Each structure stands twice: as C-alpha cells, then as structure tokens.
Structure 1
Amino acid sequence: MAQDTIKCYDSPSDVVQALAEDFIAFTNEEINRTETCVVGITGGTVINGLLELLNSPEYIERLNWERIFFVWTDERFLPQSHEDNYFNRVKPYLLCKAKGAAHFLPINTDSKTVIEAAAEYEKEVKNVLKACKKSGLDLALLDLGEDGHTAGLFAGSHALRVTDQEVVAVEDGKVWERISMTFSFLAKSDAVWFTVTGESKRTALTKVLYQREDYEDLPWEKRIGRVLPGAVLSQKAMTWYVDKAAYDDVH
C-alpha cells in the first residue's frame, strides 16, 4: 500500500497515546501554516479516549485549542441526550477548561427530520470552511466498522454515490438513521487517519487493507461498489492506527 502508513501498537490505550502525540504535531503544524485547523471526528472509544487524553493536564496546554475547529463526520440520528448519540458519549470529555476556547460543532439531531438535520449541518460545515478559507477538512479521523463501513457510509447505501452534497442523510444505514459526510467531501481532506482496535475488527481490516492494495491505482470514485467503504478514500496521506488484536498477522 504505497499510499498508506500503518502504525501498530500493543493495546488500544497505546493507540490513543500515539494518536494524541501525532494529533498535537499535526494541528500545531497546520495552524502555523494556515492559522487554523479543521478536524472531522467520528464516534467510538478511540476518539473518545483521544479527546479525554487531550483534555488532561499533561496534554491540554500543548494544543492551540482556539484555532482548532472540530466537526463531526457522522452522527446517529438520535436525540443528543440519548446514550448512543456520539456527541452525548464524548460530551463529558469536552466539559473542561478547553471548552470555552475550542470550537466544537456537533450535529443537531433534536426536533427535526434526518434530511433537515443533514442540510442544516452542511451549512454549518460550509460556514466553518469559508471562515477558515479552506475547501475541505485538514484532517479526518475515521473508524472502521466490523462490516467495513466508515463514517455513516455503509456498503450498498445510496449515500456512497452522492456527489452534490457535503453532508447527506443516510436512511438506509444499519439500526439507526444517520447523518454523514459524503465520500465526495471526505475525498477533499488533506489527511485521513483511521483508528481500528479489537479482534472483532480484524476481518474487516484484513479485507479493507487487501482491497486498498488491489485498487490503489483507482481514484475513489471508481472504487465505490468494488470495495468496502473503508477502502474507498484514496488520499496519499492515509494513516492507520491499529492495535495487535486487530492487525497482528493480517499480513
């Protein structure tokens, strides 16, 4: 995988710590270069752990929080008070002294349809990018599902092929309706980092990595329908943060 970098660690906690160090370096460099950094984050234990660690006394002063804009790559269409809402799960880690300085823009899932929520969030994301004078995310932090999905984009979903929207309503996802950034928008991200931990993700990770090798010469548009969603994006700056339970003996 010429375009991919794989960083494998002993445990999920080691993944989180390595991710935090790289995140600090990346955001500080981007802020020095362009004055801001726009980061897309998803749900999941690793991302939650990352934000918890970044807000700890050891790390909190190492970030230029007021110049980082956090947007969500996807969200379950559940009230923000629901235990399975991504923002609700991460909210405790955001209630810290950095909260007043940082820019967190969760997806509003209260009192509207999933289509309305997606349209509203698309406007918010566009406004952030316009204010920062950027065409896409500086960094997308994504997860990989056990079925190979990423963000709110599942195999066979109509949302995979949407090219005229930055954010789309996913009404044919699993279990819940969702709001997700589209592949056409995520493809504009300067860097994409995947986090994959746990033995339950090993099968999906194996398939995705082999598919990325097999189709590495194809642009993302031509990969859709041929590969699992986790193998679609084709950025050169693609990094995988994995633990041994998910990756050991994959290759």
Structure 2
Amino acid sequence: MVEAWAEKRVVISPDTATLADAVAARFLSRVAKRIDEGKLAHISLTGGSMGSAVLAAAARNPRLERIDWSRAHFWWSDERFVPREHPDRNEKQAREALLDALDIPAANIHSVLASDEGADLDAAAAAYADELAGFPSSIDAWPSFDVCFLGVGPDGHIASLFPDRSEIQITDRTVVSVRDSPKPPPERVTMTRPVINSSKRVWLVMAGADKASALGLALAGASYASVPAAGAKGRKRTIFFIDQAAASQVPPDLIDREY
C-alpha cells in the first residue's frame, strides 16, 4: 500500500442536526459525481448515532432519487456479531435509516454474517475478508472506498479498533475478529487499518463535548495505538466533521471554513 495521505482538516457545524444534513449533502454529491463519471462507488458505513443520523438525512434529501444506486456498493468498517435482526447491528440501523429506501441490487450491500447464520466469529471475519477480495482496486487487493465513514468514541476508537489492543496493530489481514470488546457487545468483526486507510476519503463524523478530548489528541498526532482515530487517513481527504460542542480542542489552523 502506498503510504501517501491527505492532511487532516476539520469542518464544524453549529449543532448535530446541521452536521448530519451537511455531511449527507456532501455524501450524495460525491456519490453522484462518481457515478456520473461512469464509475462504481464503494462506500464504507459506520454505526453509532451520528452514522445513522447522516444516513437518515440522506434519505430526506431530494437528490437521493436522482442517483443510479445500482452502481453503488455499501460495506461496513465493522459489525457487531449479534443476530441479523438485533437492534445493535450496524447493518440493521443503516437499512432502517437509508438502504431499504434505495433501488439497489441486494448483491451491492455487503454485510457481515450474523451470529444466527451458522458461522462462528472467526468464520464471519474470514467470509468478509473474502468478500472484500472479490472487489480489488487498481492498487490493493480490496476496494478503495470513495468515502469511508467513521465514528469516533470518547476513547478515540474507530470501527472496532480500540486503544491499546492488538487489532489496531494488524496489517497482514483485511478483516479480524474482536473478542472481549471494551464496549458491548463483546464480539465484533472489523476491518483493519490498511483497508480503512486505502480509502480515497475518510470522513470522521463526531458530535458532543465528550468527543473533544479524543479529537484533540487525534489532531495533535497522538499514537494511533493509543488513539486509533489519530491513525485514520484517507488518500485524498481526511476530514473530521464535527459539531460545535466537540470543537473545544481544535487548533484554529486546522479548521477548514471553505470545504
């Protein structure tokens, strides 16, 4: 993988509702541009309240119906290993917020096997790695996401890559299983840093004063081993989309007032 990434920038919205609407509009614009150029759009989704809020805002946007979603592919940077219809499942939340409203082939939604589908945790991780391998980019043996959405926890975790754990250090696999997660549920499947960082654009969406410290550390160049969000980097863009409540520790020179 080529070690070349974009500088991190911060875009601030006044509140969570405005944040969700703004990110959703940018997302639809980016997907539309990619598809209008005759290309496929690979998108990696995330869970959490802001992840769902952005998708719900996209579902309300009039531009949604003008996009040929048959040329879009959706993935997840991580998934909770719970039954298919469990409310904690990231896929279920994304379907309810947006995906079920799209005219999109079922094969274009690439979900992780659920715990009630006959596979154990390691098998689910291996199956998702195989799924990624079916869509290699021109650079890597997996898709290069046009947009990779990430949430950021108060502890600085991204996907299911938590601070000071072995998963954040793994570079020889695309997908790994997570046991004894510090945040419930305890069993998860997650993409590794090489896959996330091969994305063209990494968009980290976060809101709330409880995220300010993690954001400050990520922007200050903290070790990704201790603050995984510090290690999330897109090849073309690395943007932290945040609300005003999360902005208390953002250096002024990193704020992008034009993007």
TM-score (norm 1): 0.85
Question: Take 1:82 and 1:234, find their aligned partners in 2: how far apart are those partners?
Answer: 31
Counterpart amino acid of 2:229?
G
1:112 maps onto 2:112 in alignment: no
- CA distance change for structure 1 residues 34 and 5 in 2, over 3 Å: closer, same or farther? farther
Q: How many residues align?
A: 238
Q: Which residue of 2 aligns with 1:153?
A: 161
Residue aligning to 1:220: none
Distance 1:67 1:95, change over 3 A: closer
2:202 to 188, 192, 195: 192
Instruction: Provide closer, same or farther for how the CA distance between residues 135 and 105 of structure 1 changes in structure 2, counting only shifts above 3 A.
Output: closer
- Partner in structure 2 of residue 139 of structure 1: 147
Change (3 A) 1:82 1:165: same
Contact 2:8-2:233 within 8 A present in 1 as well: no
**1:247 is aligned to 2:251:** no
Report Cα offsets for 1:55-103 as digits up to 9, x if no partner. 2362321332111101000011111222212122232224644144573
Per-residue CA shift, 1:130-185, capped at 9, x if unaligned?
Answer: 79x97422221101011100011011221112122111111242231110100011
- 2:84 aligned residue: 80
Letter in 2 for 1:173: S
Unaligned ranges ≥5, structure 1: 213-222
**How far apart in 1 are the matches of 2:247 and 2:30?**
24
Match of 1:50 among 51, 54, 68: 54
Task: Compare 22-31 and 72-81 and name the one that shifted more.
Answer: 22-31
Match of 1:128, SS?
coil
Q: 1:76 to 1:59 in 2, by over 3 A?
A: same
Moved more, 9-18 or 166-175: 166-175
Check 1:35–1:188 CA distance in 2 against 1; reply closer, same or farther (3 A cut): same
Give runs of ≥4 in structure 1 deviating > 6 Å. none
Aligned partner letter, 1:241: F
Aligned Cα RMSD in Å? Answer: 2.4
Q: Distance in 2 between matches of 1:95 and 1:161?
A: 32
TM-score normalised according to structure 2 size: 0.83
Question: How is 1:210-249 mapped onto 2 (pairs within 5 angstroms)?
Answer: 210-211=220-221, 223-225=223-225, 227-235=226-234, 236-248=236-248
CA-CA distance at 1:208 after TM superposition: 1.5
In 2, the alpha carbon distance for the partners of 1:3 and 1:57 equals: 29
Q: Indicate if the aligned counterparts of 1:55 and 1:96 stay in contact, CA closer than 8 A.
A: no
Between the aligned partners of 1:170 and 1:143, the Cα distance in structure 2 is: 17
Q: Is the 8 A contact 1:157 1:172 kept in 2?
A: no
Q: What amino acid is the match of 1:230? A: A
